[in-house]
C-alpha cells in the first residue's frame, strides 16, 4: 500500500505515530517557512505541515505543489497546538508533520473548484464533461456512497428473505413498457436486431414459470424516450418478482423494506405508517395526478355538478363537453395582486389550461351563511348564482383570507393544471415540510387507456398486468372501466416504484393482446415464447420495480437523478465525457449490414 492510513482516520490518540498518507492537494497555505496542506482522499481531509527549518528537502518539494496534485507524505502525527484545532474536521485535532514528500502525479488547474461543497453554480455541461473531477467533490462522492448503501441494504434485505438475485440478458428482444426500444444490430444475423430491455419484465415472468419463486435483480433498463428531469435513457431498477402472491403480499414486502431503509439512511420522519393506500380514482379526484405529494393538504375540489347549469358559460360549457371544473385553495391569497394571479395563470398554461378563474374570500359569510358583497373579490361571481358561490366556497374549504383558483376544461387539462398548481402553491406558501418522507400507495389503476395517437386501447402499466377478477367480463364491452391489479408506491410526489399481478394463463394473455389490437400472428411473433411457457404450468405471480436513482435522489435531497449517477447523460441523451453517441467506421457499418440514410425530411 502506498499509504498507512486514510485521510479521514487520524485522531488525537494517534499522536506520535509514524504514518504515510496519500491523496490530492485540497488546499494549500504557504506561510514561507511553513506550508500547510489539506490532503484529501475519499475518506476525509488531513492537514499536513512542512517546516523548512526541520525538513528543507520536503519543504522544497511542498513549495511546488498545487491543487489536485497527487502526493504521498511520510511524517509524524502531532496534536495541533491549543487554539489551532479545527472542529469542522474529524481529523481537526491533529496534523501530520511531514519529513518526506513525493509527487505521484501533477495536475492541471481544474475547470472548477473541487474542494468543499461550493460550485453548484458551475455549468452542468462542464461538470458532465469533467465528471471524474465532479465526482471528487464531496457532494457527489457522498451521493455515490449513499447509493451504494441503499443498494447493499436492498440486496441484504431480500437475500435474507429467500430471494435469489438472477441476471437477465441485456441483448434481448423487444419488451414493451410503453417506450421506444434501443436496438442493436446483429453482425452474425444480417438485418436482424436485438433490443435492449426496457425492463426484465418477460424474463422475470419466465423465471417464475421456471420455479424460482422469489427473484430480484438490480437491473439496468433502457428506454428511448424524450427525457425529463427525472428520466435518463438508461437507469437502474430494483426489479422483483414473486410466485403465489397477491397484491397485498407484494405491498407487505416492500413497505417494511422502505421503512427500514428510511430509518437507516435518512434522518427525516415518515409521515404515516402503514402507508396510506389511495385508489387511482381518489388520487385523480383529490390531487389531479396519480403520484400525489401528501406532505401537505390543499386537495382539489370538484364543483362540476354544482356549476353544470351555471350562468357562467365557461363552466357550463366545460361540463357539457364532458369536462371538469375543479379548484384549489391558495391559503392567505385573497389579497393577491392581479399580477401575481396572472403569474399563476401563466404557470398553468403549459398544461393546456386556457385560463384561471378565481374567487378571493375576503370576509365572513353574512348571517344567513351567504358569501356576498365585501366578503368576495372575483371577476366571475357576477355570473354565478348565490347557491353556486356558496357551494364553491364550501366545497373548497376556503376561509376568510383564502383564494380559490378554478380550472374548467377536459379532464386531461383540468387535472394536470391543478395538480401542478397545487404543488406550486405548496412551494410558494411554504406548505411543504422538507423533513417528511410521505409514502403512499396508489392502487386500482385502470387496466387500459385509449390512445388517440394510435387509435387503439393501450395498457396503462404493461400488457402483462391482469385485470381485477370481477372486471374480466367487461374487457371487450367496457374496456375503459376495467381496473388492474396494479400498484405504485409514491414518495413525496415521485413515483418510486410500480408493479402488478400478472396474467399467468395463456388464454387470458391472448384475450388481452387481442383487446390491444394485435392479431394471433402478431402475438405469436412477439410473445409466442411467453404464451407457450404459460402452457407448461405457470404459477400465479406478480412483482414490482423500484427506480433506484429516484429513491437515492429523494434520500439525497438531489434536484435531479443525474446527481446520483456516476456518468449520466444530458437531457438530450448525450454523454459529454465520451461524446456518445458518435459515428462508427464504414467498416463497422458494413460488418453490421447497415447503411445510414439521411435524416428523414
The residue ranges that bind ligand ASP (CB under 6 A) are 177, 199, 201, 498-500, 543-545
Kindly state the smallest distance separating residue 544's Cβ from ligand ASP, in Å: 5
Q: Least distance (Å) from ligand ASP to the CB of residue 175?
A: 8
Least spacing, CB of residue 261 vs ligand ASP, in Å:
19
Least Å from the CB of residue 253 to ligand ASP: 13
Residue with smaller CB distance to ligand ASP, 46 or 199: 199
Cβ–Cβ under 8 Å, residues 486 and 546: no
Euclidean distance between CA atoms 101 and 64, whole angstroms: 11
If the CB atoms of residues 353 and 554 are measured against ligand ASP, the closer one turns out to be 554
In angstroms, rounded to a whole number, what is the distance separating the alpha carbons of residues 569 and 577?
A: 9
Q: How far is CA 113 from CA 135, 195, 291, 570, in A?
A: 12, 41, 38, 22
We find the least distance from the C-beta atom of residue 231 to ligand ASP, in angstroms, to be 13
In 3-state terms the chain splits into helix, strand, coil percentages (rounded to 5) of 30, 25, 45
Measured from the CB of residue 498, what is the shortest distance to ligand ASP in angstroms?
5
d(CA 144, CA 134): 12
Dihedral-angle region of residue 119 (phi above 0 means left; psi in -120 to 50 means alpha; beta otherwise): left
**Residue 116 in grid coordinates:** 468543499
Q: Between residues 545 and 554, which has the closer beta carbon with respect to ligand ASP?
A: 545
Nearest distance from residue 204's CB to ligand ASP, in Å? 7
Residue 483 backbone dihedrals phi, psi, to 5 degrees? -95, 150
Q: What is the Cα–Cα distance from 579 to 125, expressed in whole angstroms?
A: 12
Task: Using the minimum distance from each CB to ligand ASP, give the nearer residue, 503 or 576.
Answer: 503
**Shortest Cβ distance from residue 548 to ligand ASP (Å)?**
12
Torsion over CA: 252, 253, 254, 260 (sign): positive
Q: CB of residue 154 vs ligand ASP: minimum separation in angstroms? A: 15
User: Which one, 361 or 544, has the nearer CB to ligand ASP?
Assistant: 544
Q: In the complex with ligand ASP, which residue's Cβ is closer, 280 or 371? A: 280
Cβ atoms 238, 154 nearer than 8 A: yes
The dihedrals phi and psi of 51, each to the nearest 5 degrees, come to -110, 125
- Which of residues 201 and 466 has its CB atom nearest to ligand ASP in the complex? 201
Report the nearest approach of ligand ASP to the CB of residue 168 (Å).
12
Q: Which residue is nearest to ligand ASP (CB)?
A: 199
Nearest residue (CB) to ligand ASP, 360 versus 547: 547
Smallest distance, ligand ASP to C-beta of residue 499, A: 4
> In whole angstroms, what is the distance from residue 232 CA to residue 439 CA?
23
Run of H or E residues at 278 = strand 277-279
For 528, residues 6+ apart whose C-beta sits below 8 A from its C-beta are: none
Nearest to 511 by CA among 527, 499, 487, 529: 527
d(C-alpha 11, C-alpha 13), whole Å:
5
Q: Which are the contacts of 354, defined by CB distance < 8 A and separation ≥ 6? A: 409
Q: Cα–Cα distance between 1 and 125 in angstroms, integer?
A: 36
Q: Is the CB of residue 503 less than 8 Å from the CB of residue 464?
A: yes
Q: Which residue, 238 or 421, has its beta carbon nearer to ligand ASP?
A: 238
Which CB sits closer to ligand ASP, 262 or 466? 466
- In the complex, the smallest distance separating the C-beta of residue 201 from ligand ASP, rounded to whole angstroms, is 4
> What is the bridge-based pairing of β-strands 436-437 and 269-270?
parallel
Helices 548-556, 138-159: crossing angle, 10 deg rounding:
130
Question: How would you write 536-581 as a 3-class SS string?
Answer: CCCCCEEEEEEEHHHHHHHHHCCCCHHHHCCCCCCCCCCECCCCEC
Q: Give the end-to-end CA distance of the chain in Å, rounded to a whole number.
A: 60
Residues 6+ positions from 366 with CB-CB distance below 8 Å: 372, 375
Residue 237 vs 414, nearer CB to ligand ASP: 237
22 vs 203, beta carbon nearer ligand ASP: 203
Q: How far apart are CA 419 and CA 489, in angstroms?
A: 18
> Residue 218 CB, nearest distance to ligand ASP (Å)?
13
Chain-centroid distance, C-alpha 235: 10
Where residue 503 falls (left for φ over 0; alpha for ψ -120 to 50; beta otherwise) is beta
Shortest Cβ 347–ligand ASP spacing (Å): 30
Query: In the complex with ligand ASP, which residue's Cβ is closer, 71 or 203?
Result: 203
Q: Please, which residue, 203 or 303, has the CB nearer to ligand ASP?
A: 203
Amino acid at each position: 500500500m502506498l499509504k498507512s492510513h486514510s485521510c479521514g482516520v487520524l485522531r488525537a490518540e494517534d499522536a506520535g505515530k509514524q504514518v504515510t498518507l496519500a491523496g490530492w492537494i485540497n488546499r494549500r497555505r504557504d506561510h514561507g517557512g511553513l506550508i500547510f496542506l489539506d490532503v484529501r482522499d475519499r475518506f476525509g481531509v488531513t492537514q499536513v505541515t512542512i517546516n523548512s527549518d526541520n525538513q528543507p528537502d520536503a519543504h522544497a518539494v511542498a513549495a511546488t505543489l498545487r491543487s489536485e496534485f497527487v502526493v504521498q507524505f511520510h511524517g509524524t502525527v502531532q496534536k495541533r497546538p491549543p487554539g489551532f484545532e479545527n472542529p469542522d474536521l474529524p481529523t481537526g485535532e491533529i496534523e501530520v508533520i511531514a519529513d518526506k514528500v513525493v509527487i505521484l502525479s501533477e495536475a492541471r488547474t481544474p475547470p472548477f473548484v473541487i474542494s468543499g461543497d461550493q460550485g453548484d453554480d458551475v455549468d452542468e455541461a462542464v461538470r458532465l464533461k469533467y465528471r471524474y473531477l465532479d465526482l471528487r467533490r464531496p457532494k457527489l462522492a457522498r451521493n455515490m456512497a449513499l447509493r451504494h448503501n441503499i443498494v447493499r441494504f436492498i440486496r441484504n434485505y431480500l437475500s435474507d428473505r429467500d430471494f435469489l438475485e438472477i441476471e437477465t440478458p441485456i441483448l434481448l428482444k423487444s419488451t414493451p413498457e410503453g417506450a421506444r426500444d434501443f436496438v442493436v444490430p446483429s453482425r452474425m444475423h444480417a438485418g436482424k436486431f436485438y433490443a435492449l430491455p426496457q425492463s426484465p419484465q418477460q424474463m422475470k415472468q419466465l423465471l417464475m414459470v421456471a420455479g424460482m419463486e422469489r427473484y430480484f435483480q438490480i437491473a439496468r433498463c433502457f428506454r428511448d424516450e424524450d427525457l425529463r428531469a427525472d428520466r435518463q435513457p438508461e437507469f437502474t431498477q430494483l426489479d422483483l418478482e414473486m410466485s403465489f402472491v397477491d397484491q397485498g403480499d407484494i405491498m407487505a414486502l416492500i413497505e417494511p423494506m422502505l421503512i427500514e431503509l428510511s430509518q437507516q439512511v435518512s434522518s427525516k420522519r415518515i409521515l404515516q405508517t402503514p402507508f396510506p393506500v389511495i385508489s387511482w380514482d381518489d388520487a385523480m379526484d383529490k390531487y389531479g395526478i396519480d403520484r400525489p405529494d401528501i406532505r401537505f393538504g390543499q386537495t382539489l375540489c370538484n364543483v362540476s355538478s354544482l356549476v353544470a347549469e351555471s350562468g357562467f358559460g365557461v363552466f357550463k360549457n366545460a361540463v357539457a363537453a364532458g369536462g371538469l371544473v375543479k379548484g384549489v385553495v391558495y391559503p392567505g391569497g385573497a389579497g393577491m395582486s392581479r399580477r401575481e394571479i396572472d403569474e399563476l395563470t401563466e404557470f398553468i398554461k403549459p398544461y393546456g389550461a386556457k385560463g384561471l378563474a378565481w374567487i378571493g374570500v375576503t370576509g365572513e359569510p353574512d348571517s344567513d351563511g351567504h358569501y356576498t358583497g365585501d366578503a368576495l373579490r372575483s371577476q366571475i361571481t357576477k355570473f354565478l348564482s348565490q347557491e353556486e358561490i356558496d357551494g364553491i366556497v364550501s366545497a373548497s374549504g376556503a376561509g376568510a383570507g383564502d383564494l380559490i383558483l378554478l380550472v374548467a376544461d377536459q379532464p386531461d387539462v383540468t387535472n394536470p393544471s391543478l395538480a401542478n398548481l397545487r404543488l406550486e402553491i405548496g412551494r410558494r406558501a411554504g406548505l411543504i415540510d422538507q423533513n417528511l418522507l410521505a409514502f403512499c400507495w396508489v392502487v386500482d389503476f385502470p387496466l387500459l387507456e385509449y390512445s388517440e395517437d394510435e387509435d387503439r386501447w393501450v395498457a396503462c402499466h404493461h400488457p402483462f398486468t391482469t385485470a381485477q377478477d370481477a372486471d374480466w367480463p367487461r374487457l371487450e364491452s367496457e374496456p375503459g372501466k376495467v381496473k388492474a391489479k396494479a400498484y405504485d408506491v409514491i414518495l413525496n410526489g415521485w413515483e418510486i416504484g410500480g408493479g402488478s399481478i400478472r396474467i399467468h394463463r395463456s388464454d387470458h394473455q391472448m384475450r388481452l393482446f387481442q383487446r390491444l389490437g394485435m392479431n394471433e400472428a402478431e402475438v405469436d411473433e412477439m410473445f409466442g415464447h411467453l404464451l407457450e411457457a404459460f402452457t407448461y404450468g405457470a404459477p400465479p405471480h406478480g412483482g414490482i420495480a423500484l427506480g433506484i436513482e429516484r429513491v437515492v435522489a429523494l434520500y439525497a435531497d438531489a434536484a435531479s437523478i443525474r446527481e446520483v449517477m456516476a456518468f449520466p447523460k444530458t437531457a438530450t441523451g448525450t454523454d459529454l465525457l465520451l461524446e456518445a453517441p458518435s459515428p462508427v467506421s464504414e467498416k463497422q457499418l458494413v460488418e453490421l449490414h447497415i447503411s445510414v440514410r439521411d435524416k428523414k425530411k
